[in-house]
Amino acid sequence: MNGILRLTLRYLAYNKLKTVTLILCVTLAVLLPVLLQFAVSWFEQDLHSRAKATPLVAGVKGSRFDLALQSMYFSRADLEPTDMQAVETIQESGYAMPIPLAVRFTAQDAPVVGTSLDYFEFRKLELAQGTSLKRLGDCVLGASVAERLQLKPGDSLMSDPLNVFDLSGNYPLKMRVVGVLKRAHSPDDEAVFVDLKTEWIISGIGHGHQTINAETSKDLVLGQNDQQTVANAAVPQFNEVTDENLASFHFHGNTGTFPVSSIIVVPNDAKSEVLLLGMYDSKDADVQMIRPVEIVDELLQVVFRVKQLFDVNTFLVSFSVGLLLVLVFTLSLRLRRRERQTMFQLGCSRSMIWKLQLTEVLLILVSSLVLVLCITAVVRVYAEQLLRIWIID
pLDDT digits (tens, 9 = 90+) for 135-155: 888 999 999 999 999 999 989
Q: What is the model's pTM?
A: 0.73
Q: Residue 116 — φ and ψ, nearest 5°?
A: -105, 170
Which of 81-95, 190-204, 245-259 has the lowest average pLDDT?
245-259
**What is the predicted pLDDT for the residue at 376?**
82
Per-residue confidence (pLDDT) for residue 146, from 0 to 100: 94
- What is the pLDDT at residue 21? 83
Using the predicted structure, report yes or no on whether residue 80 has a pLDDT greater than 80: yes
Instruction: Report the range out of 38-42, 145-149, 384-388 with the highest average pLDDT.
Output: 145-149
E strands in the chain: 56-60, 82-83, 96-107, 110-115, 127-130, 138-141, 156-158, 174-181, 192-195, 206-207, 221-224, 229-231, 250-251, 259-260, 262-267, 287-290
26-40, 147-161, 180-194: least confident range: 26-40
**pLDDT by residue (tens digit) across 312-345?**
877 787 787 778 777 777 777 776 677 667 766 6
Q: Confidence class of residue 234 from pLDDT cuts 50, 70 and 90?
A: very low
Rounded to whole angstroms, how far apart are CA atoms 65 and 56? 13
User: What CA–CA distances, in Å, run from 37 to 44, 98, 249, 310, 386?
Assistant: 11, 37, 52, 10, 15
Whether 19 has a pLDDT exceeding 60, the answer reads yes
- Which band of pLDDT confidence, cut at 50, 70 and 90, is reported for residue 346? low
Give me the residue spans of the domains in the chain. Answer: 1-48+299-392, 56-205+252-290
Mean per-residue pLDDT for 290-303?
Answer: 86
The rounded percent of the chain whose pLDDT value lies above 90 is: 25
Give the side-chain half-sphere CA count within 13 A for 104.
24
SS3 percent helix, strand, coil of the chain, rounded to 5, is: 55, 20, 30
Q: Which of the residue ranges 234-238, 241-245, 381-385 has the most confident prediction, judged by mean pLDDT?
A: 241-245
pLDDT(20) > 60: yes
229 has pLDDT over 60: no
Mean pLDDT of 14-19: 81
pLDDT of 41-71, one tens digit each? 777 787 888 888 999 999 988 888 889 988 9
pLDDT for position 238: 66
- Mean pLDDT of the chain, nearest integer: 80
Residue 232 predicted with pLDDT over 50? no
pLDDT recorded at residue 204: 82
Q: What is the pLDDT of residue 368?
A: 87
Task: Transcribe 13-47 into DSSP letters.
Answer: HHSHHHHHHHHHHHHHHHHHHHHHHHHHHHHHHHH
Residue 378, C-beta contacts closer than 8 angstroms, at least 6 positions apart: none
Q: How many helices (H) and strands (E) does the chain have?
A: 11, 16
Q: Per-residue pLDDT averaged across 350-358, rounded?
A: 72
Kindly list the distances between the CA atom of residue 120 and the CA atoms of 18, 184, 241, 268, in Å, as whole numbers in the listed order.
Answer: 57, 11, 23, 18
Question: What is the per-residue pLDDT across 258-292, written as a single tens digit (0 to 9) for each?
Answer: 999 999 999 999 898 888 888 888 777 788 999 99
Spatial contact of 106 and 112, defined as CB atoms under 8 Å apart: yes
